Amino acid sequence: MNPPEQHQEQFMDPSKYLPGVSIDCVVVGFDLEELHILLLKLKDEDLWMLPGGFILLDEDMDQAATRILEERTGIKLPYLAQFNTFGDVNRREKNMLSLKNDTHREFFTQYSAFLEKRFISTGYLSLVEMQNCLPTPDLMSDFCSWKPLSSLPKLLYDHREIVDVAMAHLRSRINYMPVGISLLPEKFTMKEFQSLYEHILHKELDRGNFQKKMLKLNFLDRQEKQLTGEAHKAPYLYSFNEKRYNELVEKGIGYIS
């Protein structure tokens, strides 16, 4: 089954969806160098948007978010957490579609009764391993790709604000979300783990301190050394003890930088 086709088919009948409510997903990935956000490029516009969609009449909102994310990323049961609902009256009054091109005009004319309503949108934050992800455009977009958080393109409506709120949420909830296990590959160096935290917390961390605190929490299993030129300088690789890590995330890891 082709995910975009499936979405397209479903969207053809707006009467199947709850009016006035939508879902926007901030999908975060980490390439060991910087954080990325999954974005869709609107057809024929210099404007990008978050993956999102609507809620079927007989579908729980969380199910809808899972479905939308699966369609856009190919990832089954991605880690998802609702973080905020955006309900300002004028939240769609900036960075609007130009409707200069036929594609959008046709689309919006056809669905105007549904799309012109005021929408309240619930934001979901998803943390995924970029390498497991198959970015897939939707009906309104011609491209789906990862963009570095540090240099995001112009985003539709209030989507930039939605990203910022999501990142603030992630920062303040770093002890309560499976950040490491969701964003890092199976094996990683302490430096990479620290780099992930530095990017999320937006500050440099002391290397010795970070390593000491994290090892003390006892959720890291030390693996072999990373293969590099000089064996004696090679850093150890680590992996997560999944059970222990998930238990800690449940009650709060308790890491303080």
Q: Interface with its own copies by CB under 8 A: which residues?
A: 18-21, 55, 57-62, 64, 82, 84-89, 118, 120, 122, 172-173, 176, 252, 254, 256
Q: Give whichever of 83 and 240 is closer to its own copies, judged by the CB atom.
A: 83
Quickly list DSSP for the chain: --HHHHHHHHHT-GGGEEEEEEEEEEEEEE-SS-EEEEEEEETTSS-EE--EEEEETTS-HHHHHHHHHHHHH--SS-EEEEEEEE--TTTTSSS-----SHHHHHHHHHTHHHHTS--EEEEEEEE--GGG------TTEEEEEEEEGGG---BSTTHHHHHHHHHHHHHHTTTTS-HHHHHS-SSEEHHHHHHHHHHHHTS---HHHHHHHHHHTT-EEEEEEP--S-GGGPPEEEEE-HHHHHHHHHH------
Q: Terminal CA-to-CA distance of the chain, rounded, Å?
A: 46
Least CB distance from residue 140 to its own copies, whole Å? 23
Q: Give whichever of 231 and 256 is closer to its own copies, judged by the CB atom.
A: 256
Q: Give whichever of 122 and 136 is closer to its own copies, judged by the CB atom.
A: 122
The amino acid sitting at 143 is F
Q: Give whichever of 46 and 58 is closer to its own copies, judged by the CB atom.
A: 58
Least CB distance from residue 22 to its own copies, whole Å? 11
Q: Give whichever of 109 and 218 is closer to its own copies, judged by the CB atom.
A: 218
Least CB distance from residue 65 to its own copies, whole Å? 9
Q: Give whichever of 5 and 88 is closer to its own copies, judged by the CB atom.
A: 88
Rounded distance between C-alpha atoms, residue 83 and residue 170, angstroms:
9
Least CB distance from residue 109 to its own copies, whole Å? 23
Q: Give whichever of 146 and 197 is closer to its own copies, judged by the CB atom.
A: 197
Q: Are 111 and 40 in contact (CB under 8 A)?
A: no
Least CB distance from residue 176 to its own copies, whole Å? 6
Least CB distance from residue 124 to its own copies, whole Å? 10
Least CB distance from residue 251 to its own copies, whole Å? 9
